[in-house]
């Protein structure tokens, strides 16, 4: 019988502590900062934003900033193969700034919507889906593109001594007989391309570089 009063006292303490804990939780809930009006308006809307950053209460006792040089670049880069490229951004530069702030309370809300970017990309994909020949033509263009090697931009062989020369253009298949050229030597460079030295009808020595498909990559006169 000596344990009954102790158990009764523990039960009475628990009953007295429960309302106090509930009151403390209600007070803590009331003290929590509420969302800003803009954030509530955005959240209650039908379509939610892609990014929502809501800081309803910013309390700062003291801020001291001393900046000499500050460059900030913010950019959005959306790319779809070689067909679509969207670039949007902002640039800021600060030089020699000193700021001291005390006792500040503020709110901050950041809402980011990417609907326009998403719509543009979706329309591009839909266009490709409806017109598959665009992709076929693009791949064909990439396959037939030949990069210039050796920095030769003008590969036209002009007329020499009144005798018509031969126009060697990048990308065309080399035909020595049709071009009136006679091969002198043939080697392979480090890139696996065929390097030929040929003579035209006027006796001019030329160097012609072709790829594995015998398409002309570059050509130049050789000084004798």
pTM over 0.75: no
Check residue 194 and give its pLDDT: 92
What pLDDT is recorded for position 185?
92
Beta bridge partners of 88: 76
- Average pLDDT of the chain to the nearest whole number: 70
Report, as an integer, the average pLDDT of 78-84. Answer: 64
More confident residue, 9 or 207: 207
Lowest-confidence region among 64-78, 88-102, 152-166: 152-166
- The alpha helices in the chain, defined as continuous H runs, are 4-31, 37-44, 115-130, 133-144, 176-179
Q: What is the per-residue pLDDT across 129-165, written as a single tens digit (0 to 9) for each?
A: 777 777 676 666 555 554 444 444 444 444 343 333 4
Nearest to 152 by CA among 168, 140, 166, 141: 168
């Amino acid at each position: 019988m000596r344990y009954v009063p102790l158990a009764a006292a523990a039960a009475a303490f628990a009953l007295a502590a429960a309302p106090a804990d509930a009151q403390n939780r209600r007070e803590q809930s009331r003290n929590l900062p509420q969302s800003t009006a803009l954030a509530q308006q955005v959240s209650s809307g039908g379509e939610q934003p892609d990014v929502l950053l809501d800081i309803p209460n910013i309390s700062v006792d003291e801020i001291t900033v001393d900046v000499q040089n500050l460059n900030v670049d913010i950019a959005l880069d959306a790319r779809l193969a070689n067909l679509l490229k969207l670039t949007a951004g902002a640039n800021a530069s600060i030089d020699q700034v000193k700021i001291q702030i005390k006792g500040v309370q503020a709110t901050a809300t950041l809402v980011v919507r990417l609907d326009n970017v998403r719509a543009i990309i979706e329309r591009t994909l839909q266009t490709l889906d409806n017109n598959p020949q665009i992709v076929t033509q693009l791949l064909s263009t990439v396959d037939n593109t030949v990069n210039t090697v050796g920095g030769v931009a003008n590969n036209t062989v002009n007329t020499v001594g009144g005798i018509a020369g031969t126009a060697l253009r990048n990308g065309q298949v080399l035909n020595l007989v049709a071009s009136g050229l006679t091969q002198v030597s043939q080697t392979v460079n480090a890139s696996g391309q065929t390097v030929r030295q040929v003579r035209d009808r006027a006796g001019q020595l030329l160097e012609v570089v072709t790829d594995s498909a015998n398409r002309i990559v570059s050509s130049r006169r050789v000084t004798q």
